[in-house]
Structure 1
Amino acid sequence: MHMSWEDLQTIESLVRTGSVVGAARELGLRHSSISRRVDALERSLGEPLFLRGPRLRPTTLATAIAARATAMAKHAHEIEALIEGERRARELRIVITTNDVLAPLVFTALAGRALEETVQVRVSDVEAELEPGTTDLALRPGGQPSGALRGWRLGRLRVGIFRARSAQQGARTWILPSADLRKRSSMRWWKSVPDDAEGRVECNSLLSMRDACIAGLGRAALPSLLAAHDTRLQLEEEIDGGPPVWLLAPATRRADARRRRVAQLLVSSIRSARGVWVT
């Protein structure tokens, strides 16, 4: 048979208070509701739970059930406290996810801002799901967000071909992205590089491509965000194909004032970043 939590609470309260009146008062039920519930349980069990008299006397089975219900109630209260603590912590915490290329835009936007919230920035090439209670905002390259997401289009990344200032001008050796990196939709600008490009080094991240370029190992097609302000690098030419960048939030989640404020701060600051976007 199935015994509900309400059934367990009824037995526990009857055992502890010793009367239908006491249990009814504690549970906020009518006396008749308590009696009917106990009668139904006893019929289902095929044996009594209480011996009737001036005072209810629980059977061995009722006492054992009540003891376990008491332990369950303790755990239930602990779970409620855990959930409430997490809810309060969430009110003062904003979680933003982005990749290592775009992370500097987030850090610059947050720098010098007096925020009431604790902002957690999670940097990873893995695109974390925007789940309530897990991630609030995501800064990502890519196309129009799907129906499960809403977002603010911040601009299209400026991309160029760079070489080390110390490298010989006109050298045709390239630093190539790995096959996995090349497959990403945000790497469409790689089509601007000749099909027969000769490469000495292959890298699995844009940061390592930039570092290889600084070391003089070849030319590299890179977002200007990564390379334009590095005095060790020289821009040879700008190329097309930079991806749009979006600040995203769950479409189904109603943002509170704090999350809206952080989102608006990021949008305003990142859109105005110099030398980052195609104009």
Structure 2
Amino acid sequence: MQAGWDDFRFVKAVADGHGLTGAAEALGIDHSTAFRRLGAIEKSLGARLFERHRSGYTATAAGQAMLDVATRMEADIDGFSREVVGQSDAMVGELRITAPTSFAGTFLMPILAEFSRRHPAVRLHLILAEETLNLSRRDADVALRASRGPDETLVGRRLTGVGWALYGAADRTFGPLADERWVGLSESVAGGLFAGFVQRRTAPERIVLSLNGVAGLREAIAAGIGIGPLPCVEGDADTRLQRLGGLEPELHTDLWLLTHQDLRRSARVRAFMDHIAAAMQPLRPLFEGSKVSS
């Protein structure tokens, strides 16, 4: 029996999910269905595709060969999809945007509202995530991304610098900062840049909470759990917080507006990127930390 595209897609989901549980979640099916599906594919091919281990599923030689084909097929389909969208001159259809979770509560929603009023036939799909989504796979069409250097496969523009500073609860008086309780971002964020910043400024036992996102970090500082670093656009706009010093140059980053190079000619992608860039101009002092929001 010849394997079809759905079989290749399923086997890749098993590999990506390191087992049937991950595959079932990704495909929206239950575990027993995934188990039967893999068994049926292996039986039809007359080959075992995965070795089962306590740590997960590992592809056999036959499984790896199938994965290689599935990966090429997926890349071709993604490329076709980007090409079709990239050639579209119509201001209609879906536009998928990804941005850090914290942006939803600061500046982004009014900008999206104005774009939607101007282009009512464009359906916006906003994906708020701290992780970096893959624009090549069209996990999103446009990304607002804090970075010191975007991927070379992407195109776009630098919108502004992003200044960082230390913050504490506004209703507190602070002594020597090294003696305070601290909160910060975890080692998994930005390669440990922010975790290292905190670790160099206080003793390990003074770091009482680590988080994986800026929105939670802001709330932790406002609740008085500890002091910690925040982007100024978040900290200065929150009346529950106070700055505890000047800008921290080692945490400075840039905010980029990015898309895949295949999508840059799409009318709705171009219109959205132009709209965001124009809307960001008056906000740059807030992001850079040179002006405290009233």
TM over 0.5: yes
Question: Are the equivalent residues in 2 in contact too, given 1:130–1:249 (CA < 8 A)?
Answer: yes
Residue 268 in 1 paired to residue 285 in 2? no
Q: For 1:183 and 1:146, how far apart are their aligned partners in 2?
A: 16
Q: Describe the shift of the 1:227–1:189 C-alpha distance in structure 2 as closer, same or farther (beyond 3 A).
A: farther
Call closer, same or farther: CA 1:188–1:102 in 2, change over 3 Å: farther
In structure 2, distance between residues paired with 1:184 and 1:105: 26
Instruction: Give the structure with higher Rg (CA).
Output: 1
AA partner of residue 231 (structure 2): P
1:165 paired with 2:173, answer no
Residue aligning to 1:277: 288
Contact 1:145 1:151 in 2 (8 A): no
Q: Distance in 2 between matches of 1:188 and 1:178?
A: 6
Change beyond 3 A, Cα 1:96–1:201: same
* 2:184/2:195 contact within 8 Å kept: no
Matched position secondary structure for 2:108:
helix
Which residue number in structure 2 is paired with residue 139 of structure 1?
144
For residues 205-244 of structure 1, the aligned pairs below 5 Å read 205-238=213-246, 239-240=248-249, 241-244=251-254
Q: 1:176 aligns with which of 171, 184, 188?
A: 184
Query: Contact 1:94/1:119 (CA < 8 Å) preserved in 2?
Result: yes
Aligned length: 194
1:212-232 Cα shifts (integer Å, max 9, x gaps): 111112211111122211111
Shift of 1:142: 1.0
2:256 matches 1:256: no
Would the alpha carbon gap of residues 124 and 264 (structure 1) be closer, same or farther in structure 2, given more than 3 Å must change?
A: same
The CA deviation at 1:209 is: 1.7
Query: Unmatched 5+ residue regions in structure 2?
Result: 1-80
Letter in 2 for 1:176: G
Gaps of 5+ in 1: 1-82
Query: Partner of 1:194: helix, strand, or coil?
Result: coil
SS at match of 1:180: coil
Q: CA deviation at 1:184?
A: 4.8
Q: Do the aligned partners of 2:167 and 2:221 also contact (CA within 8 Å) in 1?
A: yes
Q: Which residue matches 1:199?
A: 207
Task: Provide the identity percentage.
Answer: 21
| 1:237–1:93 Cα change, 3 Å | same
1:179 shift after superposition: 2.4
Aligned position for 1:123: 128
Q: Report the TM-score when normalising by structure 1.
A: 0.60
Q: Identify if the C-alpha distance between structure 1 residues 182 and 140 changes in structure 2 by more than 3 Å, giving closer, same or farther.
A: closer
